[in-house]
């Protein structure tokens, strides 16, 4: 359901931020009779201001944080006192003076720095196994800053937006839809900003079920060179649902700006919860299932932040793995039923077959075909894992992965690709795609003329275009099929 109130309003937002603290300046001041005022100067704060990144600093000592262990909750479970505290914390953050290293824009630009959106970016923590631990560390210091601003460092914890349950933007973040609400951001997709639902395919419980069936960290959370399956779907796709990858509604859709939307932190808190819940599936012993990497290159990755006292601190990936003991928060274990895809079958993903539906397709042995068909007939899920799928430079937005065989088209997955703040930093990067292809298994594994797989750009608001032609040709270095052991 769309609200009649349109919030296509963002060009002024950075100006609002620029002038933040000026009493009485609300988003509405930038409208004239409903007409959007756009001027070059309203983009004055774009691109991100790219501050000098903090470096070095006092290393985090595991065990030194002795605050109580407190539950991080869904925003939907916040009572009115908790909501008021959250809003007060964001208001205080937004009102910090220009020179303060904790200030709102500095926090947001820390994210820009760590996604290679700045020419002085130290590194890009996206697209590899640093994705989970860096964001966890970032949320930790951000949460401490907010907590100290409302004098509740001990008990203040961030909420998460569990989009698998809450299918709209959480009401406190969109209503009231003005700068009077410290959780509001004007730079959002107008449909969602007005109360619309997320696309029904995105960030669903069933997607989480699929991801939780992947028991190795590399496929779930990435390795040194490639992002994991969760990073593009649901992480990326939800980003691009909330913010389009272009102006003016782009905050969440662009890594250089994403953390300028308070919703970013609720989104990432949910991502953090999903990582934590995945780890909870590990059983003891020496196996590696559902456990984090033990490579020293992973454990020793270290980043610097500003803490609530504006001191530079550093923390490593290894320091954040045990969030309960080291970072003093827990989540309620998610109640997700899942299948374990323990049976891994090799196949080849070949590009490209000529013919009526030219495109990449799967080549499997007779034996594999039979196993897949048996699983399919038993209504047991079939997952296709494509590794080192390269996303060409300059591509961003939301895409559907579609199996095409003759007239039949079956959507088997989504890819959400965030733009970066600066054009020069757009680059080819590598992702892992885990697609639930159960519904298309008959076509993809057919003996004669199997289905081909295509990536279509979703129709987007700006262009009002129907589904566009192929966005890019899907290529993967490796492919495998995963089934439940039966
Ligand atoms: Cu650092 Cu959701 O991106």
Cα 430–432–438 angle (5° rounding)? 145
Element (H, E) at 83: helix 80-94
Give the Å distance between the CA of 211 and the centre of ligand 1. Answer: 18
Kindly give the number of the ligand 1 atom that is closest to the alpha carbon of 115.
1
Structure tokens at 394: 């300059």
Tell me the C-alpha distance between 274 and 3, whole Å.
31
- What are 4-16's pLDDT values in tens digits? 333 333 333 332 2
Give the Å distance between the CA of 29 and the centre of ligand 1. Answer: 31
Kindly give the number of the ligand 1 atom that is closest to the alpha carbon of 239.
2
Place of tokens 């068909």: 373
Kindly give the number of the ligand 1 atom that is closest to the alpha carbon of 131.
1
Give the Å distance between the CA of 445 and the centre of ligand 1. Answer: 35
* pTM of the model as a whole: 0.88
Kindly give the number of the ligand 1 atom that is closest to the alpha carbon of 268.
2
Give the Å distance between the CA of 255 and the centre of ligand 1. Answer: 6
Kindly give the number of the ligand 1 atom that is closest to the alpha carbon of 236.
2
What is the full DSSP assignment across 148-186? HHTT-TTT----B--TTT--B--HHHHSS-STTSTT--S
Return all residues near 221 (Cβ < 8 A) that are at least 6 apart: 129, 131, 132, 228, 230, 231, 275, 278, 292
Give the Å distance between the CA of 49 and the centre of ligand 1. Answer: 18
| Per-residue model confidence (pLDDT) at position 26 | 30
| Per-residue model confidence (pLDDT) at position 161 | 98
What is the full DSSP assignment across 427-443? --EEEEEEEE-GGGHHH
- What are 353-407's pLDDT values in tens digits? 777 778 999 999 999 999 999 998 898 999 999 999 988 887 888 999 999 999 9
| Per-residue model confidence (pLDDT) at position 470 | 77
Give the Å distance between the CA of 236 and the centre of ligand 1. Answer: 8
Which has the closest alpha carbon to 199: 235, 242, 252?
Answer: 242
CA-nearest residue for atom 3, ligand 1, is 255
Kindly give the number of the ligand 1 atom that is closest to the alpha carbon of 135.
1
| Per-residue model confidence (pLDDT) at position 47 | 60
Give the Å distance between the CA of 123 and the centre of ligand 1. Answer: 14
| Per-residue model confidence (pLDDT) at position 385 | 98
Q: Torsion over CA of 419, 416, 271 and 303, rounded to 10 degrees? A: -30
- What are 70-112's pLDDT values in tens digits? 999 999 999 999 999 999 999 999 999 989 999 999 999 899 8
Give the Å distance between the CA of 377 and the centre of ligand 1. Answer: 39
Kindly give the number of the ligand 1 atom that is closest to the alpha carbon of 271.
2
Tell me the C-alpha distance between 486 and 481, whole Å.
15
Return all residues near 123 (Cβ < 8 A) that are at least 6 apart: 114, 116, 130
Tell me the C-alpha distance between 141 and 136, whole Å.
9
Query: Which residues sit with their C-beta closer than 6 Å to ligand 1?
Result: 111, 115, 126, 135, 235, 239, 255, 258, 268
Return all residues near 144 (Cβ < 8 A) that are at least 6 apart: 153, 307, 308
Cis (ω within 30 of 0) for the bond into 130?
Answer: no
Return all residues near 291 (Cβ < 8 A) that are at least 6 apart: 217, 279, 282
Element (H, E) at 209: helix 205-212
Kindly give the number of the ligand 1 atom that is closest to the alpha carbon of 235.
2
Give the Å distance between the CA of 113 and the centre of ligand 1. Answer: 12
Dihedrals φ, ψ of 442, to 5°?
Answer: -60, -40
Residue 336 CB: number of other CB atoms within 10 A? 16
Mean pLDDT by 10 residues, the chain (486 residues): 34 30 29 32 50 91 98 98 98 95 92 80 88 98 98 98 98 96 95 95 95 97 95 96 82 91 98 97 91 98 97 98 98 81 93 82 95 92 95 87 94 90 60 96 93 88 56 92 90
Give the Å distance between the CA of 176 and the centre of ligand 1. Answer: 25
Asked if residues 256 and 115 have their Cβ atoms less than 8 Å apart, the reply is yes
Residue 298, CB half-sphere, CA atoms under 13 Å: how many?
20
Asked if residues 178 and 28 have their Cβ atoms less than 8 Å apart, the reply is yes
């Amino acid at each position: 359901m769309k609200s009649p109130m349109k919030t296509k309003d963002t060009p002024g937002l950075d100006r609002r931020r620029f002038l933040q603290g000026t009493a009485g300046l609300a988003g509405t001041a930038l409208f004239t009779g409903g007409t959007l005022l756009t001027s070059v100067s309203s983009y004055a704060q774009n691109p991100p201001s790219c501050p000098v990144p903090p470096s070095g600093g006092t290393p985090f000592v595991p065990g030194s944080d002795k605050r109580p262990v407190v539950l991080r909750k869904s925003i939907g479970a916040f009572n009115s006192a908790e909501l008021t505290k959250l809003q007060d914390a964001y208001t205080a953050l937004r009102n910090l003076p220009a020179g303060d290293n904790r200030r709102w824009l500095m926090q947001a630009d820390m994210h820009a720095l760590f996604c290679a959106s700045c020419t002085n970016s130290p590194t890009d923590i996206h697209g590899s196994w640093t994705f989970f631990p860096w964001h966890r560390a970032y949320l930790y210091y951000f949460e401490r800053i907010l907590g100290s601003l409302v004098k509740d460092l001990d008990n203040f914890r961030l909420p998460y937006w569990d989009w698998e349950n809450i299918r709209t933007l959480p009401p406190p973040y969109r209503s009231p839809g003005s700068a009077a609400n410290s959780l509001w951001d004007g730079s959002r997709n107008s449909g969602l900003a007005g109360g619309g639902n997320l696309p029904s395919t995105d960030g669903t419980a069933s997607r989480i079920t699929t991801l939780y069936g992947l028991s190795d960290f590399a496929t779930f959370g990435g390795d040194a060179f490639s992002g994991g399956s969760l990073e593009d779907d649901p992480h990326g796709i939800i980003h691009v649902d909330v913010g389009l990858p272009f102006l003016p509604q782009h905050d969440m859709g662009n890594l250089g700006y994403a953390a300028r939307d308070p919703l970013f932190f609720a989104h990432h808190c949910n991502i953090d919860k999903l990582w934590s819940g995945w780890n909870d599936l590990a059983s003891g012993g020496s196996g590696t299932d559902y456990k984090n990497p033990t490579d020293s290159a992973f454990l020793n990755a270290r980043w610097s932040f500003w803490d609530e006292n504006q001191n530079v601190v550093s923390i490593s990936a290894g320091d954040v793995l045990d969030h309960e003991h080291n970072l003093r928060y827990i989540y309620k274990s998610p109640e997700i039923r899942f299948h374990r895809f323990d049976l891994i079958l090799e196949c080849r993903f070949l590009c490209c077959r000529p013919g009526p539906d030219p495109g990449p397709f799967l080549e499997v042995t007779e034996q594999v075909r039979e196993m897949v068909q048996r699983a399919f007939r038993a209504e047991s899920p079939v997952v296709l894992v494509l590794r080192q799928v390269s996303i060409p430079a300059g591509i961003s937005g939301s895409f559907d992965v579609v199996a095409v065989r003759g007239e039949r088209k079956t959507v088997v997955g989504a890819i959400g690709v965030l733009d970066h703040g600066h054009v020069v930093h757009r680059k080819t990067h590598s992702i892992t795609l885990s697609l639930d292809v159960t519904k298309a298994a008959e076509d993809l594994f057919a003996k004669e003329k199997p289905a081909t797989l295509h990536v279509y750009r979703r129709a987007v608001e700006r262009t009002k275009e129907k589904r566009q032609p192929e966005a890019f040709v899907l290529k993967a270095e490796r492919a495998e099929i995963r089934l439940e052991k039966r």
